[in-house]
Chains A and B, each alone.
Chain A
Amino acid sequence: MTNRSLRPSSALVVGGVLTALLIATALLSLVWTPEVPTRVRVAMRLKAPLEAGLLGTDHFGRDVTSLLMVGAWNSLAIAWPAVLLGAAIGTAIGSAAAAWKGIADEIAMRVSDVVFAFPAVLSAIMIGALVGSGPLAAILAIAVFNVPVFARVTRGVALQVWTLDYIAAARAIGKHPLRITWEDVMPNIAGALIVQVTIQLALAILTEAGLSYLGLGVRPPDPSWGRMLSDAQTYLSQAPHLAIAPGLAIALAVLGLNLLGDGLRDALDPTLKGRGAAA
């Protein structure tokens, strides 16, 4: 009993701490970094960790610690709006599909399938061709890829809620489906959505790093974890710390958000608890 209740909370704690660290670092970078992250000091290029600054310097002599900190902010600045935009549109579509069912549901889900078939990198290249590659294209691409995810999750949980007796009662007294969705369904699915947002954030950070690695995300000279990785590639034999630092940062950020998502699901989802006990 104690063991079972401890496991989810340890995921929650570790995930929560890592995520809090990520957000705190990003916020701190807005007011303070050890060095000006874009300041080039060629004389001090490729210094090892602790030789210059905590994590050394890159091929232009920029301070890696400062680059990582601002990179955290730039990463979140793309991942957050992208996931929120995708969640807003996806949730609206999913709730509508659950409320009206029939042909609307069918269309929404098949369109979702089609959008789902495009990987985020591909849509980023397409959107980049339309609006010019850069942070905006990256946000739109990640948002597009999030829409079907949220549409499906919302529809799934909302459909369950729509079968409940008090919803049937609300329908019987002639309450409009929109009001039912907003007042009765939403509060019931909010937990599942929060969990999904957390997990999608992890994915969005990973995708943003991938896009920046390919030169489709954050624009140089603004620091980004993905581009730090791609820059580090050619210096791998001389300065491995240049690849390890951003790689570790991405891994920890993604791990933290995933653990947090898992922990939140266990804490928020009552059905899972029941299932866990049965199993």
Chain B
Amino acid sequence: MSKRFLAACLLLSVSALPALAAKTSLVVGMPIEPPGLDPTIAAPVAIREVTLANLYEGLVRIDRNGKVQPLLAKSWEISPDGLTYTFRLQEGVKFHDGTTFDAADVKFAFDRARDPKSTNAQKQIFAPIEGIETPDPSTVVIKLKETSGNFLTYLGWGDAVIVAPETAANNAANPVGTGPFKFKSWTRGDRVELVRNPDYWQKDKVKLENVTFRFISDSQAQVAAVRAGDVDAFPNLAAPELFAEFQKDPRFKAVAGNTEGETVAGLNSAKKPFDDVRVRRAIMHAIDRKMLIEGAYSGFGTPIGSFFSPNHPAYVDTTGVVPYDPAKAKALLAEAGYGNGLSITIKTPQMAYASRSAELISAMLAEVGVDLKIIPTEFPAKWIEEVFKNKDYDITIVSHTEPLDIEIFARDNYYFNYKNEKFKALIADAAKTTDEKARFAKYAEAQKILAEDVPALFLFQLPKLGVWNAKLQGMWENSPIPINDVTDVSWTE
């Protein structure tokens, strides 16, 4: 009897052994499905969140603190005039299709991205390039027409990953890169599955065998999926009101980090009444950012006074330039001739942060005699058509998640319709400045100009509300660029 019991115990413990070994699969939840899987031909953030650092790699990478680190380039030298970059490449790197990575692939990838016909979303990265030389297979020399202060940082973005000439054309549906994971399958509307790349050049770093990205748009469903364990990690939960519950639950790690997403309510500067800077300032004076963050994002998020991320070292706090002051708002409106009231509309996309903010803005503007009607619109398709292309709006609201994107206010014909030659010159100047201190000083001045001119209501920095299983380690707490890098992620048991 006791023998049999012992045998049973032994059997049980043996069969229990595999379960004790650390898990090697990971399911990551995302709110939005990418339209394709090639970050070098289209703008959507979701593409980078699946592919960057997992499938594709660039010459350099941006680490979890936003710093530039070597990746496919093991080292580089910059000439004293700042115009010549010489990159030494890693050797023995292979693409997922078995072909070898070398200098010719770098030249191909960058020439493809800066081609006039290319649809690359961040052409300013490649605009300063004059020519690319490949003296030998492990050296790339990039010559610039003019100095570019952010060139190395830019090369860590998803738009500058290295793709192979043999496979580049099909990357949107069948991505081939040099990353730690290979593409396995894509079930549209549901999930993208990746498997470990057995030939990865730093394979000792990688612990996971399978990575699945699941797309769940409804915030209730996101929370349910995490609770049920269907999703191991949700790096960017869309339900701030439910986040606090995860913070109390020991089964999960809940981290409120930062993104590069500035939430702004664009004001159409080409149209009445916002062609008058006094009206723009008045509206900004009417907004209580603290209250807005509390109501729209359950208190998560940092107030901003200009278009710059508080994560960036060049950030200056400009929230005091046009502070919350309803009396001043009323006075400015009266001065501009709208003392008897003003009736305007806000085109609001469906995202919860946008519609909630719009309702709060509407309530705050009502206090200073402005009637703000909310008109719903669909992001991205309808919003791109109505607001971004046709500029048919008074106010709109959206979060701009690209890092270091203050230059959009210097672009001609961008949807804000903002024109300021001084600002434009300053941004162009800053981009060329290679001395970090001087460049940051210029960015600081640019931030102040925007804070005073109010081409958009600068509201708050979108937080990154990450929730994951407490046994997971290596997840990123902040998003210095749009990315879900799972290279270092592993299970503790």
Contact = CB atoms under 8 A, between A and B. Distances in A.
Interface in A31-64: 38-40, 42, 45, 59-61
B225 to A, nearest CB: 15
A42 B373 contact: no
B359 to A, nearest CB: 5
Contacts of B359: 40, 60, 220-221
A215 B376 contact: yes
A107 to B, nearest CB: 37
Chain A interface mostly: loop
A221 B375 contact: no
Interface centre among A42, A61, A134, A237 (most CB of B within 10 A): A42
B373 A38 contact: no
A40 to B, nearest CB: 4
B239 A234 contact: yes
A219 interface: yes
Contact of A220 (B242, B350, B362, B366): B362
B255 interface: no
Contacts of B100: none
Interface string B353-387: 00110111011101000000111100000000000
Contacts of A112: none
A221 B350 contact: no
Interface residues of A, number: 20
B344 interface: no
B362 A221 contact: yes
A5 interface: no
A59 B295 contact: yes
Given A42-B294, A59-B241, A221-B359, A234 B374 contact: no
Contacts of A238: 241
A38 B366 contact: yes
Contacts of B363: 38-40, 60, 221
Contacts of A132: 375
Given A42-B291, A42-B295, A219 B375 contact: yes
Given A42-B291, A221-B359, A234 B220 contact: yes
B219 interface: yes
Contacts of B362: 38, 220-221
Nearest to B377: A133
Contacts of A219: 373-376
B385 to A, nearest CB: 13
Given A60-B295, A60-B359, A233-B220, A220 B241 contact: no
A237 B358 contact: no
B81 interface: no
Contacts of A59: 241, 295, 356
Contacts of A133: 376
B245 interface: yes
B460 to A, nearest CB: 13
Interface string A184-221: 00000000000000000000000000000001000111
A59 B360 CA distance: 11
Contacts of B352: 234
Contacts, number: 55
Contacts of B360: 40, 42, 60
Contacts of B355: 220
Given A38-B363, A237-B242, A220 B358 contact: yes
Nearest to A134: B375
Contact of B295 (A39, A40, A134, A221): A40
Interface centre among A39, A45, A134, A221 (most CB of B within 10 A): A221
A235 interface: yes
Nearest to B367: A39
Nearest to A239: B241
Contacts of B375: 132, 134, 219
Contacts of B356: 59-60
B228 to A, nearest CB: 15
B245 A237 contact: yes
Nearest to B366: A38
A162 to B, nearest CB: 48
Contacts of A215: 350, 376
Contact of B291 (A38, A40, A134, A233): A40
A40 B352 CA distance: 17
Contacts of B366: 38, 221
A45 B244 CA distance: 15
A238 B359 CA distance: 21
Most B Cβ at <10 Å: residue of A61, A134, A220, A233:
A220
Nearest to A238: B241
Contacts of A42: 291, 294-295, 360
A134 to B, nearest CB: 8
Interface in B374-430: 374-376
Contacts of B291: 40, 42
A238 B239 CA distance: 13
Interface in B212-257: 219-220, 239, 241-242, 245
A215 B360 CA distance: 17
Contacts of A234: 219-220, 239, 241-242, 352
Interface in A130-161: 132-134
B376 to A, nearest CB: 5
A268 to B, nearest CB: 42
A240 B366 CA distance: 29
Interface in A222-244: 233-235, 237-238
B344 to A, nearest CB: 13
16 contacts: A38-B362, A39-B363, A42-B360, A59-B356, A60-B295, A61-B295, A132-B375, A134-B375, A215-B376, A219-B373, A219-B374, A219-B376, A221-B363, A233-B220, A234-B241, A237-B245
Closest 10 CB pairs of A and B: A40-B363, A42-B294, A42-B295, A42-B291, A220-B374, A221-B362, A60-B295, A215-B376, A220-B359, A221-B359
Given A60-B356, A61-B295, A220-B362, 14 more contacts: A38-B366, A40-B291, A42-B291, A132-B375, A134-B375, A215-B350, A219-B374, A219-B375, A220-B358, A220-B374, A221-B362, A233-B220, A234-B219, A237-B245
